[in-house]
Amino acid sequence: MLEEGFPEQAIRESDCSVLNYTFDWSVLWREPYGELLLTGIFTTIHLSLLAWVLALVVGILVGVARVLPNHLTRLVGFSYVQLFRNIPLLLQLFIWYFVLPLLLPRPAQSWLYRNVPDLPYFMSVVGLGLYTASRVAEQVRAGLASCPSGLYEAASASGLSTFHVYRYVILPYALRIIIPPFTAEFLTCFKNSALAMTIGVMETTGASYQIDSLTYHGLETTTAASLVYIAITLSVVLFMSWVERRVWLHGMIGRRS
Amino acid sequence: MVPTNRLLWILCAFSLLSLLMIPAPSYAESVLAKIERTGQLTAGVREDVAPFGFYDKNSNWVGFSVDVAQSLAGELSKKFNKPIQVVKKSVNSKTRIPLVVNGEIDIEIGTTTITLAREETIDFSLPFFITGAKFITHKGSGIKEVGDLAGKRVGVAQGTHHAKNIEMAVSKGLIKSKCEIVQFEDHAKGFLGLTQGKVDAYFTDESQLFGQKKKAPNPGDWVIVGPFLSYEPYGFILPQNDSPWRDFVNAFLVHLIKSGEFYSLYDKWMGPKSEVPMPMSEDYQYYLKVITFPE
């Protein structure tokens, strides 16, 4: 963008400006950086998967709790979702790792630091999992709300207990409906795992920053990290569309895509 | 499935294309010519590393680096016979190189260790400060020397070489068994982890340890354990292949040492009466004499 009165010489120079930077892609596999990046990628994958399993279990329980005909469970579910959904994940991770352990008595703290191997990793799984659970819970609630009330009535009328109504009739129906938004949450879970870097977990982003600061080839490492996330999330998309086809029931979710 | 697939491929292609557009242009003009044209010296300075660049009690951005930048601007004013203003920009260990590469700052005056790998991307001035990494630990931790760290948990900051330095000390037999290395995002979080007992000791450049110790509620509770386990010569970061500018900065540094102004700045910020006293090691004193090149 040229402004009026911009010195002519400077314009000429900016026209023939060159990038004063030499690309060196070998930092991605060269000793010892390759191992660092690879470990980072595996950390991203198992950290996110563990967090996602935790999110599914807690999220489905909380989501169901929010629609049960019981004031107490509804209140608990509501509070859970509002608490975990409304604090930035970055702060939640800081709180899990730096603040919550302080509430324990001093000996318990030292026990925790001494005996839990890789505490930052553990706290990231818990923090990311419980945060994602609040979002999963909302999707589950939406799925449950979309079940026609006739379904609840018919199931109850056939003599099933509340637990069995949910276990055998409502949840199998609702969970299928919410597979597409679930996919989105699953992807977000992978991308949010990058924040674990802030409490010292060397996952993909952390590893790419580390290589950057050791070699100053940040363009290469950030490009590589971006491609890794794209590859992971595309695999998740393919996996989830397979799941969607696998659990498809005739006449349920529109046409088979 | 077919339309979704095609869409995915198009998205991939776009994300790759956008990556190619990242590179920021830099002017072919020497930094010296730019400073003369604009009348401004843009210097990258830390704001979290006492005594190099930090906020004092009155929230003024001060430090050794700030004074060096002022002095450099004075030298530039003499050269161009017109007043040159210092424009300070805040940098950290992640941004300092990219900002020099893309021309946002003319020079970084901070706490950057000169390494050969870094030299491939940018240029450095002559070293102006020499330090090395040591451990800091609580005085009651029972750690009196490097060997006591065997099997202990040691904190390091991301983006540093220090994890490797500890491994080297272990392989050399200075530390008898492996330490558990705990990474922290930065020194502030690392020191927080140390005060909370998450790690038994924290490992980084001694110059940074002095600053962190100073900030602790009871500085006397913390002891720094040597000897140096790494060699950290600090240099100013300069743009790659700008020889006139690099020569000017190096001449400025040599004159600063020869005139004695360097020593008075050192005394002001790191001398015995300063807030963060850092005695000059013998090697460092000798080095400063070595670079007093003749005119």
Contact call for B8 and A237, based on CB within 8 A: yes
The pLDDT score that the predictor gives to residue A17 is: 41
Of the pLDDT bands very low, low, confident and very high (cuts 50, 70, 90), residue B188 is confident
Structure tokens at B147: 């060997």
The pLDDT score that the predictor gives to residue B50 is: 82
| Residues of A in Cβ contact (< 8 Å) with B185 | 197-200
Q: Which of B82, B70, B71, B2 is nearest to B35 (CA)?
A: B82
Of the pLDDT bands very low, low, confident and very high (cuts 50, 70, 90), residue B8 is low
- The more confident residue out of A257 and A180 is A180
3-state secondary structure of A84: helix
The pLDDT of residue A3 is above 80: no
Structure tokens at A136: 């999963």
Contact call for A14 and B118, based on CB within 8 A: no
The pLDDT score that the predictor gives to residue B165 is: 85
Q: Is A10 on the interface with B (CB under 8 A)?
A: yes
- Least CB–CB distance from A17: residue in B26, B120, B164: B26
Mutate to test the interface with A, among B196, B202, B241, B245 (most CBs of A within 10 A): B196
CA distance A125 to A115: 17
The pLDDT score that the predictor gives to residue A20 is: 58
- The more confident residue out of B186 and B67 is B67
The pLDDT of residue B36 is above 80: yes
Window B:85-124, CB contacts with A under 8 Å:
93-94, 97-98, 101, 117-118, 120-122
The pLDDT score that the predictor gives to residue B12 is: 58
Window B:129-158, CB contacts with A under 8 Å:
153, 158
Q: Is B160 on the interface with A (CB under 8 A)?
A: yes
| Residues of B in Cβ contact (< 8 Å) with A21 | 23, 101, 121
* Mean pLDDT of the A20-26 span: 76
| Cα dihedral B157, B160, B163, B165 sign | negative
Of the pLDDT bands very low, low, confident and very high (cuts 50, 70, 90), residue A237 is very high
Contact call for B97 and A110, based on CB within 8 A: no
Query: Which residue in chain A has the smallest CA separation from B33?
Result: A10
| Residues of A in Cβ contact (< 8 Å) with B4 | 241, 257
The pLDDT of residue A96 is above 60: yes
User: What confidence tens digit (pLDDT) does each residue in A112-171 have?
Assistant: 888 888 899 999 999 999 999 999 999 999 999 888 889 889 999 999 998 899 889 988
* Mean pLDDT of the A95-123 span: 90
Answer for the pair B40, B85: CB distance below 8 angstroms, yes or no.
yes
Structure tokens at B4: 């979704």
Query: Which residue in chain A has the smallest CA separation from B187?
Result: A200
The pLDDT of residue B68 is above 90: yes
Contact call for A17 and B8, based on CB within 8 A: no
Q: Is A19 on the interface with B (CB under 8 A)?
A: yes
Q: Distance between alpha carbon B91 and the CA centroid of its chain, in Å?
A: 10
| Residues of B in Cβ contact (< 8 Å) with A216 | 97, 117-118, 120-122
The pLDDT of residue B6 is above 80: no
How many percent of chain A have pLDDT more than 90?
57
The pLDDT of residue B290 is above 90: yes
Window A:103-122, CB contacts with B under 8 Å:
109-110, 113-114, 119-120
The pLDDT score that the predictor gives to residue A217 is: 82
| Residues of B in Cβ contact (< 8 Å) with A10 | 27, 29
The pLDDT of residue B25 is above 50: no
Contact call for B161 and A214, based on CB within 8 A: yes
Contact call for B28 and A206, based on CB within 8 A: no
Window A:197-236, CB contacts with B under 8 Å:
197-202, 206, 209-210, 212-219, 223, 226, 230, 234
Average pLDDT, rounded, for chain B: 87
Q: How far is B4 from chain A (nearest CA, A)?
A: 10
Most confident range (mean pLDDT) of A75-89, A174-188, B14-28 is A75-89
B217, burial (CB in 10 Å: exposed 0-12, middle 13-18, buried 19+): exposed
* Of A66-70, A138-142, A239-243, the least confident: A66-70
The DSSP-derived string for chain B is -HHHHHHHHHHHHHHHHHHHT-PPPB-SS-HHHHHHHH-EEEEEE-SEETTTEEE-TT--EESHHHHHHHHHHHHHHHHHTS--EEEEEE--TTTHHHHHHTTS-SEE-S-PBP-HHHHTTSEEEEEEEEE-EEEEEETTS---SGGGGTT-EEEEETTSSHHHHHHHHHHTTSSSSPPEEEEESSHHHHHHHHHHTSSSEEEEEHHHHHHHHHHSSSGGGEEEE-S--S-EEEEEEE-TT-HHHHHHHHHHHHHHHHTTHHHHHHHHHHSTTSSS--PPPHHHHHHHHHT----
The pLDDT of residue A1 is above 80: no
* Mean pLDDT of the B22-26 span: 46
In the block, tokens 């940098």 appear at: B91
| Cα dihedral B271, B273, B279, B282 sign | positive
- pTM of the entire predicted model: 0.76
The pLDDT score that the predictor gives to residue B16 is: 56
Contact call for A200 and B185, based on CB within 8 A: yes
Q: Is B230 on the interface with A (CB under 8 A)?
A: no
| Residues of A in Cβ contact (< 8 Å) with B114 | none
The pLDDT of residue A89 is above 80: yes
* Mean pLDDT of the A216-238 span: 92
- Least CB–CB distance from B185: residue in A110, A198, A230: A198
Q: How many CA atoms lie within 13 A of B292 on its CB side?
A: 12
Of the pLDDT bands very low, low, confident and very high (cuts 50, 70, 90), residue B24 is very low
- The more confident residue out of A12 and A136 is A136
In the block, tokens 């005909």 appear at: A69
CA distance B22 to B32: 26
| Cα dihedral A105, A109, A110, A112 sign | positive
B176, burial (CB in 10 Å: exposed 0-12, middle 13-18, buried 19+): exposed
Window A:172-191, CB contacts with B under 8 Å:
none
Of the pLDDT bands very low, low, confident and very high (cuts 50, 70, 90), residue B4 is low
- Least CB–CB distance from A215: residue in B26, B117, B183: B117
User: What confidence tens digit (pLDDT) does each residue in B249-282 have?
Assistant: 999 999 999 999 999 999 999 998 888 888 888 8
The pLDDT score that the predictor gives to residue A66 is: 92
